[in-house]
Amino acid sequence: MAPAVPTTETLTLRLKHHRTTVFLYASPLQSLAELKTDLITALRETTPSDTLAGRPLPTSPEQITLGKPKDRNDYALGWIRIEEGEESKGKESIKLAGLKEGMVVAFKWGDESQMTENEQKYKWDVVLQTYDEVYGDDS
């Protein structure tokens, strides 16, 4: 993957799974399928064991599900799956999905057909540090 050269229109997205954060540059008009491909490439280049949080890395972009926060100011409220319409054929853009500069985007992968609907809705493995974990407790 060639290094991206950011422009004034380039977005920086923070893609998170468990405690791992992948920073990716993306054009607002880039498709979600291309974003997933870039994510897989970045994971493969930075994870020599081909596992992340004890799970084998996805092999294709179709295996990845993206999620955006229900509330950008409170990630504890959970995540909403970013739906790619069947008629878009993988061409839905980052802008149409509502992703913005610096936004945290959750990602997961695996066979969701084996999960119940309730498990699919709540199974986002995203661990965010608290203020005390980052800066310590001064007491």
Domains in the chain, please, with CATH? 11-134 (3.10.20.90)
CA torsion sign for 110, 115, 119, 121 is positive
Provide the 10 A C-beta neighbour count for residue 2: 4
Task: Give the type of residue at 109.
Answer: W
Instruction: Report the number of secondary-structure helices (H) and strands (E) in the chain.
Output: 3, 7
pLDDT in tens, 73-132: 888 899 999 987 655 555 699 999 999 999 999 999 986 665 556 555 558 999 887 778
Which pLDDT value is given to residue 110?
84
Q: What is the model's pLDDT at position 28?
A: 95
E strand intervals along the chain: 11-17, 20-26, 51-52, 55-56, 64-69, 79-81, 104-109
Q: What is the pLDDT of residues 2-54, one digit of tens each?
A: 666 778 899 999 999 999 999 999 999 999 999 999 999 999 999 989 999 88
Cβ 94 vs Cβ 26: under 8 Å: yes
